[in-house]
Amino acid sequence: MPHQVCMVSDFFYPNVGGVEEHIFNLSQCLLRRGHKVIIVTHSYNDRVGVRYMTNGLKVYYLPIRVFYNQCVLPTMICSLPIIRYIFIREQITIVHGHSAFSALAHEAMLIGHLMNLRCVFTDHSLFGFADTSAVITNRFLQISLFSCNHCICVSHTGKENTVLRARVESNRVSVIPNAVDTKAFSPDPRNRSEDYVTIVIVGRLVYRKGVDLMAQIIKEFGPKYPNVKFIVCGDGPKRWLLDEVRERCGLQDRVELLGALEHSQIRNVLTRGHIFLNTSLTEAYCMAIVEAASCGLQVVSTRVGGIPEVLPPQLIYLTEPDVPSLVEGLEKAMEDLARGCAVDPFECHRQVSSLYNWNDVSQRTEVVYDIVTKDESKPLGEQLQCYINGGVLPFMLVVALCHLILKTLDWLVPSKTIDIAKNFDQKTFKVQQVPKKLS
Amino acid sequence: MEDADNNTENQSIHENVDGQKILLRLKSIGKSVCIEYTIEKDKSSILQTPAVHILAASLTLLFLSLLCCFMTGVLICTCICGFVSYHSIWHIKKEVLLITIPLGLQFTAFFKSGHHRTCFIPWNCIRDIYIVEAISLHRVLYNIVVLTEVEGRSSTSAQTTLKLTPLFQGTKPRLSCLETIYQSIYTLMPKTTTQVEN
């Protein structure tokens, strides 16, 4: 049964990252499977309004300003009229929010729930339980997931984490891992240097990605192994640390800092390497290691979060998140490479291709959509009761206010005055150049 | 209706995005080289007349002056009267699109106050006409737009820029009405341009 799905998240193209890639690829596969998919996100500079992407994927860039860290301010009521308008004109049946950090996703799910639509939420991150920000975020997530029919996590560790911190029933949570476009990440061993062993690091240079560990490893490896080269791809607030280590150890010729690159350029960097190093301190699912393995690299990674579930043991060297363990892992990988025991790059690619593909992810997501479609709508009283049981009485008042605003909008802007949007027809669509002058 | 000079006129009633009735009048002059599209808001709604707005504002003024302290009432009602007056003067009651091939396109908006604003686009500047979606406050509306090419004004650079000019922004007709206009315009267009697709 075809569904009309609205993906909502603060993180989407032109922003680049795992969540953005996940939303785009999943949407493309669902479109190919005959579903209607639209994406709602906030504006990015002058990118406001309605845009179309590959295969007629429609994106609404709402005129809402970013408040903090690429997220909008969760006012709960300010963007309600336009989100309701979009849901009605696109005849949406399922609202799919992405990322626990996305305020827009939580708002849209609440509005969708009050409009008796089915809501699905995909959690892409792991959280702690101890610090203040984690406590607040977890509480907010718990409140938000009251209005959600089903949750999707990208790894079993992620599921465990979500069930604990958001207090969701485990039978309402499914695990659907991410995938990688393996055709775009094919190996090419000819690009590798024969004189050096190249270690590639790809990721944002932030604390969470273990930049401090990276710096220490470069410091230890540089003088010890003169035949080792590092290529670091990514940018972030901790870049200065790597710059400093490179300067101090005089490794300008052997440590290449490429800065942030476009996703399409990543494969060219990966194919230059022999070993991929991931030093993340927390990770629900690591796309970078799958992309690296798909390019035929040996992966050395920290054993944190959902990483042990991502690749089979023969394709990954798991280590503890500390310098001695990571150094040991790298040395073992180099030794295997020197002895010729490393898995062949093309065999590595074949194994990853058989494990991960977006069609499989979309099929499994479709099953979740079929399940939530069968769910019965909750009356308002029952919805509000959830908030009382959860001990969040003030939020219940916000939900009640949202309900009243929706009822007022039903009177002020009735559904019958809203034009139903035309669906994009892939069969009749032809790419046209801007026409010449008419005369 | 068709007269002896090959002039035809068709009328149809549509709705605008606010749910109000609008009248679409298509007037073809000559042998399909000149066509005029008029969209007029329905006059039958008594609530839309300026007299009713002013009356309502006056009554509010009276009521609030009695209810609150005198000065506050006057202040609030001055604001209301100001808004109603602005609305009455700058509210568009009729929009006319006149297409004359191969001269160009003339778009005129008639305000309630009696004055009007006209915009003319020469035929050689027009590249195409589209129906597009745009976000307007809390709504996503369909608009009919003209893609024009504006040539650089400076003598040093001959660079041209593309610009979208939206039409019928005052009467805001719904999609069905826009489609009628769009299809009618395309029957006038030279065959070299893009084909009409439903």
CA distances from B18 to A86, A277, A418 (A): 16, 59, 9
The values of phi and psi at residue B85, to 5°, are -65, -45
For residue B28 the two structure tokens come to: 């073809």
- Extract the runs of DSSP E, i.e. beta strands, from A171-306: 173-175, 197-202, 228-233, 255-259, 275-278, 298-302
**pLDDT (tens digit, 9 = 90+) per residue, A114-138?**
999 999 999 998 887 878 888 888 8
**B19 touches A at CB < 8 Å:** yes
| pLDDT per residue as tens, chain A (439 positions) | 899 999 999 999 888 888 998 999 999 999 999 999 999 999 998 899 999 999 999 999 999 988 887 888 888 889 999 999 999 999 999 999 999 889 999 999 999 999 999 999 999 988 878 788 888 888 888 888 988 999 999 999 999 999 998 888 999 999 998 888 888 899 999 999 888 999 999 988 988 899 999 999 999 888 889 999 999 998 889 999 999 999 998 888 999 999 888 888 999 999 999 999 999 998 888 889 999 999 999 999 999 988 999 999 999 999 999 999 999 999 999 999 999 888 999 999 999 999 988 999 999 999 999 999 999 888 888 888 888 888 888 889 999 999 999 999 999 999 999 999 998 887 777 666 556 665 5
For residue B183, with 0-12 CB atoms within 10 Å meaning exposed, 13-18 middle and 19 or more buried, which class applies? exposed
Three-state secondary structure string covering A271-315:
CCCCEEEECCCCCCCCHHHHHHHHCCCEEEEECCCCHHHHCCHHH
Measured in angstroms, the CA of B3 and the nearest CA of chain A are apart by 30
Secondary-structure breakdown of chain B: helix, strand, coil percentages, each rounded to the nearest 5: 30, 40, 30
Hey, which residues 81-140 in chain A have their CB within 8 Å of chain B?
Answer: 81-82, 85-86, 89
Cross-chain Cβ contact A82/B140 below 8 Å: yes
Give span(s): CATH 3.40.50.2000, chain A.
Answer: 4-179+358-429, 183-355
Q: Please tell me what DSSP assigns to residue A417.
A: G
pTM, full prediction: 0.86
**Subunit contact B142:A419, Cβ cutoff 8 A:** yes
**Whole-angstrom Cα distance, residue A368 to residue B25?**
50
**A4-179+358-429: CATH topology:** Rossmann fold (3.40.50)
Q: Which residues from A are below 8 Å from B19, CB to CB?
A: 414, 416-417
Which residue is associated with the tokens 């005198």?
B70
Q: Span B137-162, mean pLDDT?
A: 82
Cβ of B127 under 8 Å from any chain A Cβ? yes
| Cβ–Cβ below 8 Å for B140 and A85 | yes
Say whether residue B188 is in contact with chain A using an 8 A CB cutoff. no
Alpha carbon of B16: minimum distance to chain A alpha carbons (Å):
8
A48 touches chain B (CB under 8 A): yes
Q: Does B147 touch chain A (CB under 8 A)?
A: yes
Distance CA(A264)–CA(B182), nearest Å, equals: 40
Beta-carbon contacts below 8 Å between A and B: 72
Of B126, B174, B189, the CB nearest to A419: B174
What is the rounded distance in angstroms from the CA atom of residue A58 to the CA atom of residue A96?
15
CATH annotation of A183-355: 3.40.50.2000
Task: Please name the residues in contact with A17: beta carbons below 8 A apart, sequence gap of 6 or more.
Answer: A11
Q: Which residue in A60, A419, A428 is closest to B175 by CB distance?
A: A419
Q: Enter the ipTM.
A: 0.82
Q: A376 is written with which tokens?
A: 């019965």
Q: What is the pLDDT of residues A184-222, one digit of tens each?
A: 899 999 999 888 999 999 988 988 899 999 999 999 888
